[in-house]
Amino acid sequence: MSSTIENVDRVSSLPEEVVSHILSQMPMKFAVRTSILSKRWRYSWTLVHNLDFDDFHPVYGLDCFSKFVDGVLELCKTPEVILFRLCFSEIWVRRSSASKWINEAVRLNVRELDIQVILLELPISLFTCKTLTKLRLDCGVFDLDVWNCPSPVALPCLKTLDIAVSREPSASAFKLIHGCPVLESLSLQVLWRNDEEEYNFNIPTLKRLRLITMKCVSVINKVVLNLPNLEYLFVGGILCSLFVMVDLSSLVKARVSYFEVRFSDMLVELLKGISGAKSISWSTSTTDIPLDAPLPKFPNLKHLDYKGGRFWSGWPLIPQFLESSSELEDLRIEELDESCWIEPQSVPTCMLTNLKTIELAKCKGNKCDVQFMEFVLGNVEDPKTVTITCERLRQNEEMRFCAELLKLPRASRHCEIHFVGTRSRTII
Amino acid sequence: MSEPDVIKPEMMRSYIWLQTADGSIQQVEQEVAIFCPLICHEIHAGMGSSKTYPISLPARVNPVTLSLILDYCRFHQVPGRSNKERKSFDEKFIRMDTNRLCELTSAADSLQLKPLVDLTSRALARMIEGKTPEEIRETFHIPDDLTEEEKLEPLKNITDDPRIRLLNRLYARKRKELKEKEKLKNVEVEAEHVDDRSVDELLSFINGENGDSKEVKTVKNKKKNRRRKDQQKNAPVCTISNSSAAPNNAIKESNGISSVGHDDRVKGHCLPNINELLKLQDSEDDRFGLEDEFDDCDIGDGIDPEIKEQIDREVEDFARRLNSDWPERVQELLSLGQERRPSLYTVNGNGCSARRSSSTGVEKHEK
């Protein structure tokens, strides 16, 4: 087979396994469409092991889509399904249909199930599926009686669980969680917390946890984390819970991303709980509720990623973080808007010893940025990399900013600033 | 190992000898070569250490693709690279014309180099998804060898069973003939049944999203199905010799269909078990052994006339039942082998009713 012949149909001569692997990497709709390419392609799609049904492409009504899924499941010849995805965010699927489809997927030894459908009834077989390793359930806000979670739940292989519940997770989500003996990664989104229910996370195998509360009433609840092997914690949404950390001894990275904090005490408690982390990613507004208490010490913290964003400015906390983290090596500050930079009383220890990488991302060249850089450049003994990235600045504004940075005195002679503008990069 | 004039430290590495199907031999650094599982196995088996005993690579690996594969291995076998670096390399690496990409996929597959197969498959998948069939055919030079008829035909349960394939082809031909007959008659526009729409929309959905052509096809299919229904209603008692239950079911079905309000089924739904049914009818094998000659579209040739007549009758009946319900169709097909395996129905009867709630739904409608 000479590669100089240009019009040879090579793709059709690939082995069937490879062809079905290719077709498995696209939504089902496109895979099925290959059935009219040619004779050879007529039934290749039936060996696809990923059944991915989404409605991100135009469809022709609920009925048609329903029938399409039915048809595919009937004709599909693969003995084992690896991924089964139902992602109809715009279409309300008939309850019994979705349940039937999931049941069929379970029957085909599905390993990953991704259900994002409004209005859904879950088949009992799902809760005792022996092959399931990954489950995602996001049924929108209307999940009324979705969760007729039977007891007992037994999912012996489930390692990743990603669920969104509209309320009362104990009735559903926690039941599910307790039925997973090898759970390693859990994401729980509570869309509306309307009671004082205590959330108790007691999962020895868990390595990653994401806990988000989107809306809640004004009652505080308690969240107990007894997760000795947890390495990554992501908390976000509204902070309206008191975190009690029984055991977070393995924590490596924490991400705190609240758009609303009800009580600043809760935030401090949370910070105390994650104070052993090596890396923290912070994007939480504290302007409305200034912190009364000082921050706890972060003895292991090496990386701090501090994000601003349009809705929250957060300069005030930076000096506190710097003061509390003597081992800090990398500091990254993103998109902080105009505010004032208040210089700390004394130079934070980390700047004198460990701080190596400083990055100002999505910078707008404000006065506080310059002031901050002045403080940094004047005090950091041995910076390895200083990077400033600007976005959406006009050429003249960029140049002005650059000029101001150039004027700043530097503690270290070897210090170079990598300036990344919208169109060019320079080293100053 | 090669023998350089000046021995430099970096040249003191092991080299492996590889031979491609065209006979050419080349040497590669061992740590690069062992990234390919197949080569790794061969090395452990003692091959490839010298020029006289090179590792013979599978035929699908030609020198050009081998060089690409080795570039890939050379980059990725270095342990210290970050994910970002690897991803960036992959994105640049994958930029090549489709011919080369296919060859590379094939070669990587034969060498069991899964990460590269994944990478190339994804690239090929991106080239396929979102495109119309015409565009895909053009990109890959796929011959358009399906007839229009076949393209519109509902996908049935695929099987290697030659009898099913034969029957499917004959049904297609028969449908065509029926359609032509109907063209002579005057047909009024009727309200569409949901049943019609399901298959038609599935077909149009499968066939592509070209707005106009889709609508044309849909309309055409609806007319086709409607005419067929008329044919059904007007047809005399079925002439198939061994199908006793047929006539009543025919009438029942027509009524059943018109009263179906909503229905989750697709035509292909019922056929999964036919495969099993027909496989059990071993003695029928001989009659259908001629299937090898039928691989082309023109099925008129080479069929034993006696068989042809039998098939025609069956086909006519089957064509009549294209919209029929699952239980009735099972009965019919079973009746083909009723003398031999009377117990079949029980087995499949259980399978049938256990299978879907929609079949019980059907039974309700029949009442």
Distance CA(B240)–CA(B246), nearest Å, equals 8
Cα–Cα dist B353/B345, whole Å: 12
Of A17, A56, A36, A374, nearest in space to B132 by CA: A36
Does A76 score more than 70 pLDDT? yes
pLDDT of residue A250 exceeding 90: yes
Mean pLDDT of B317-321: 57
Lowest mean pLDDT among A189-198, A199-208, B315-324: B315-324
A425-427 and A417-420: which strand pairing? antiparallel
Interface of A with B in 7-46 (CB under 8 A): 7-15, 17-18, 21-27, 29-30, 32-43, 46
CA torsion through residues B350, B356, B362, B367, sign: positive
Any idea which residue has 């000479």 for tokens?
Answer: A2
At B101 the pLDDT is 92
Exposure pattern of B158-193 as b/e (b: 16+ CB <10 Å)? bbebbbbbbbbbbbbbbbeebbeebeeeeeeeeeeb
Structural domain contains residue A137: yes
Instruction: Decide if A340 is inside a domain.
Output: no
Tell whether A68 is within 8 A of chain B (Cβ).
yes
Give the total number of structural domains in chain A: 1
* Average pLDDT over all residues of chain B: 62
Report the pLDDT value the prediction gives residue A68, as an integer from 0 to 100.
81
Burial of B34 (0-12, 13-18, 19+ CB in 10 A): buried
Contact between A30 and B128 using a beta-carbon 8 Å cutoff: yes
Q: How far apart are CA B172 and CA B319, in angstroms?
A: 9
More confident residue, A399 or A59: A399
- Indicate whether A160 belongs to any domain: yes
Name which residue leads in pLDDT, B292 or A1.
A1
Give this complex's ipTM: 0.74
Pick from B98, B117, B206: CB nearest A18: B117
Cβ(A411)–Cβ(A373) below 8 Å:
no
Identity at A260, one-letter amino acid code: E
CA distance B153 to A245: 62
Q: Give the CATH number for residue A66.
A: 3.80.10
Give residue B106's pLDDT. 93
Which residues lie across from A54 on neighbouring strands? A87
Q: Does A426 lie at the interface with B, CB-CB under 8 angstroms?
A: no
- Calculate mean pLDDT across residues B29-38: 89
Q: Are A173 and A165 in contact (CB under 8 A)?
A: yes
| CB nearest A9 (choices: B140, B155, B205) | B140
Judge contact between B217 and B207, C-beta under 8 A: yes
Q: Do B155 and A38 touch (CB under 8 A)?
A: no
- CA nearest to B193, candidates B318, B360, B322: B322
Contacts of B144 in chain A (CB under 8 A): 37-38
**Please, which residues bridge with residue A116 across strands?**
A87
What is the average pLDDT across A44-50? Answer: 90
Residues of B in contact with A33 (CB under 8 A): 133, 206-208
Interacting residues of B342 by C-beta distance below 8 A, sequence separation 6+: none
Q: Is the peptide bond before A152 cis (omega within 30 degrees of 0)?
A: yes
Task: State residue A146's pLDDT score.
Answer: 55
Whether pLDDT at B243 is above 60: no
pLDDT in tens, B125-165: 999 888 888 888 888 888 888 777 777 666 665 444 445 45
From A9-23, A89-103, A169-183, B176-190, the region with the lowest mean pLDDT:
B176-190
Range among A69-78, A306-315, B178-187 rated most confident: A69-78
Looking at chain B, the number of H-run helices and the number of E-run strands are 17, 3
**Nearest CA of chain B to the CA of A399: how many Å?**
31
pLDDT of A141: 55
Which burial class, exposed, middle or buried, applies to A190 when counting CB atoms under 10 A from its CB (0-12, 13-18, 19+)? buried
Residues in chain B with CB shorter than 8 Å from the CB of A40 are 142
Contact B333, B277 (CB under 8 A): yes
Average pLDDT value for chain A: 84
Angle of helix B357-366 relative to helix B246-258, nearest 10 degrees? 100
Residues in B touching A59 (Cβ below 8 Å): 205
Note whether A38 contacts B269, CB cutoff 8 Å.
no
Note down the domain range covering A74. Answer: 14-184
pLDDT tens digits, residue range A279-289? 999 887 766 55
Binary contact (A100, B356; C-beta < 8 A): yes
Q: A9 in a domain, yes or no?
A: no
In percent, the amount of chain A with pLDDT more than 90 equals 29
Q: Which of A21-25, A37-41, A139-143, B184-188 has the lowest mean pLDDT?
A: B184-188
Q: What is the pLDDT of residues B44-85, one digit of tens each?
A: 888 888 888 888 888 888 899 999 999 999 999 898 888 899
In this prediction, residue B52 carries a pLDDT of 85
Determine contact: B158 vs chain A, CB below 8 A.
Answer: yes
Report percent pLDDT > 70 for chain A: 88
Phi, psi dihedrals of residue A86, rounded to the nearest 5°: -120, 110
Which residues of B fall within a CB distance of 8 Å from A17? 109
- pLDDT: which is higher, B230 or A65: A65
Residue burial B78-117, b: 16+ Cβ < 10 Å; e: rest: eeeeeeeeeeeebeebbeeeebebbbbbbbbbbbebeebb
Instruction: For residue B124, count CB atoms less than 10 angstroms from its CB and return exposed for 0-12, middle for 13-18, buried for 19 or more.
Output: buried
Q: Is A307 helix (H, G, I), strand (E, B) or coil?
A: strand
Question: What residues in B contact A36, CB-CB < 8 Å?
Answer: 133, 146, 151, 206-207
Contacts of B209 in chain A (CB under 8 A): 57-58
Question: Do B102 and A97 lie within an 8 Å CB cutoff?
Answer: no
Residues of chain A neighbouring B124 (CB-CB closer than 8 A)? 11, 22
Hey, are the CB atoms on A71 and B272 less than 8 Å from each other? no
* A42 with B146: Cβ contact below 8 A: yes
pLDDT at position A210: 95
CB–CB contacts below 8 A, A to B: 154
The answer to whether the Cβ–Cβ distance between B266 and A70 falls below 8 Å is yes
Of A219 and B196, more confident:
A219
Say if residue B89's pLDDT is above 90: yes
Tell whether the model's pLDDT for residue A180 goes beyond 50: yes
Cβ A18–B157 below 8 Å, yes or no?
A: no
Paired residues of A389 in beta bridges:
A420
B residues 48-107 near A, CB within 8 Å? 62, 64, 98-100, 102-103, 105-106
Q: With 0-12 CB in 10 A as exposed, 13-18 as middle and 19+ as buried, what is B366?
A: middle
Q: How many whole angstroms separate alpha carbon A256 and alpha carbon A282?
A: 5
- B93: CB partners within 8 A, 6+ apart: B68, B71, B72, B75, B119
B298 burial via Cβ count (<10 Å: 0-12, 13-18, 19+): exposed
A-proximal residues of B, 232-291, CB under 8 Å: 262, 264-266, 268-269, 272
What is the residue whose two structure tokens read 């048609």?
A64
- Please answer yes or no on whether A18 and B128 come within 8 Å at the CB atom: no
* DSSP string computed for B59-119: TT--HHHHHHHHHHHHHHT-TT--HHHHHHHHHHHT-S-HHHHHHHHHHHHHTT-HHHHHH
